[in-house]
A and B are shown apart, each in its own frame.
Chain A
């Protein structure tokens, strides 16, 4: 019996969400008294390092094709059957979310997505997740023989507990892909918003797109990813994939700095799971201060350059 963790391969690299999932899987495996197996695919030179984060064995499937939900579903559910998995863990990423349900169907398993703490084992698995856009916490019990879950990003910091293992090939019978990817566009270099640990975000208080450089300079000093409120994306100052909130991306970084954003409930819905929130606003009555850990009242056009300088000076002394 085992816990099986699926790890995405991003052009031969494993992202932080993959290490988080393996570390989570190893803690769950310990609670269940079983071993932890990781599954990845294609050319993945870093596969062996998953052992460091708690995988007892690492399996590599021979698949190098496009992302196709049915192929991935077959890959993970077949491996789960072969390896006697009682629990299957995937990262709560765009791809993970797209086929986790498929794996559950194939394994006749109950599924809970967006789990954010290690489950309690009690005649089934009791899992925890954030619901109502961060306004409440739910505990569910998965009662089926096999359980499938996706792990919310930044829910835990992966810790090195073991050492590299030698990956082994796993033979699987995969169907032909029906979905053909004809184009793929990703912005290189910057950490995508859903994965970012540090986020600098700005709203209508910036007055216009021409002022965005002060936000970018602060983000650069912190090595943070930038985000914005919805009106900013709607008016085309910033691209839509940067818009956070109920109708945009929901994020959970370690640090969220909100600059010139009022803190409307729909905005908070996407960011109130952040670990630490800093709010900079000239209006001391701005609702965002209620959700903040640190607040600065004043004109952002004065404050941001000063903050950037302070960050740069801190970094240069480290």
Chain B
């Protein structure tokens, strides 16, 4: 099996969010970046597991500048065989998807795996963009994935208030959610080997922007908490009804 896994970087959750003075750009100065958890823990590890079972190759792809190389090396240390980075500053999912497709269509991948969502821009859209451009079936929020060697995949996916088990023949695109695999910590051998695994940097294809950033802003701070006497829960209920108007 040849599997392509989309991995992206995201600020560590505990980092403070700030923007440039004109509000047009995210300010990553002094921020620690990590691999997007859904990409690392679920999509990547599942790809590695499938190749361990069925043989094949795991390639990662990342759209972004050289600051992504740290997380790409980590993906190689966890067990990906090789990596591709498209050297573009993808401003949004529309563009990232376009660049990924440009690379993916050059080779017949059996499966393209990605995370269910990036935890910074929370798009949850890239998978459907990639699948549609390649005319492939797409299954989102996979929590379980199995395949035999006949190219048919059985996927459990999250739906509102439950789950659905689907069957589909590859090639296809699947986004991974919690449950798909267990996080793997890179070991010393993996880290040593990752240094010599291929990371190919390719230039971006020409892209016509469809969506542009107007501005970012921080939400208005909460007014501050109103403390209620633990002996007076009627008061809390009254406030929820009369003041907050939520019950």
Contacts and interface: CB of A to CB of B under 8 A. Distances in A.
B125 A276 contact: no
Contacts of B120: 131-132
B129 A111 contact: yes
A141 B166 CA distance: 36
Contacts of B93: 101, 111, 113
A292 interface: yes
Contact of A269 (B119, B125, B127): B119
B210 A110 contact: yes
Given A142-B210, A183-B164, A194-B160, A100 B239 contact: no
B225 A180 contact: no
Interface stretch (A26-34, A50-58, A306-314): A306-314
Q: Which of A113, A139, A303 has the most CB of B within 10 A?
A: A113
B188 interface: no
A136 B124 CA distance: 17
Interface residues of A, number: 97
Interface in A270-318: 275-276, 278-279, 289-298, 302-303, 306-307, 309-311, 313-314
A95 B157 CA distance: 10
Contacts of B127: 98, 101
A101 B119 contact: no
Given A136-B218, A254-B246, A186 B159 contact: yes
B219 interface: yes
Contacts of B230: 296-298, 302-303, 306
B168 interface: yes
Contacts of A195: 160-161
Interface string A204-239: 000000000000000000100000000000000000
**Main SS class of interface, A:** mixed
B226 interface: yes
Contacts of A292: 222, 225
B13 interface: yes
Interface stretch (B47-55, B63-71, B133-141, B190-198): B133-141
B169 A101 contact: no
A276 B212 contact: no
Contact of A105 (B119, B132, B167): B132
B110 to A, nearest CB: 15
Contacts of B37: 246-247
Given A294-B226, A296-B236, A102 B131 contact: yes
Contact of A276 (B215, B219, B244): B244
A195 B217 CA distance: 26
A35 interface: no
Given A133-B119, A139-B215, A109 B133 contact: no
B13 A94 contact: no
18 contacts: A69-B132, A94-B159, A102-B128, A135-B218, A138-B213, A142-B210, A143-B211, A179-B166, A179-B168, A180-B166, A180-B168, A181-B165, A184-B164, A187-B162, A255-B247, A276-B244, A290-B225, A296-B227
Interface of B: 11, 13-14, 17, 19, 37, 92-94, 97, 119-133, 135, 137-141, 154, 157-169, 178-179, 209-219, 222-223, 225-231, 233-234, 236-241, 244, 246-247
Given A94-B141, A105-B133, A197-B246, 16 more contacts: A69-B140, A97-B140, A113-B124, A131-B121, A132-B121, A138-B216, A181-B164, A182-B154, A184-B162, A184-B165, A193-B161, A198-B247, A291-B222, A294-B236, A295-B226, A310-B233
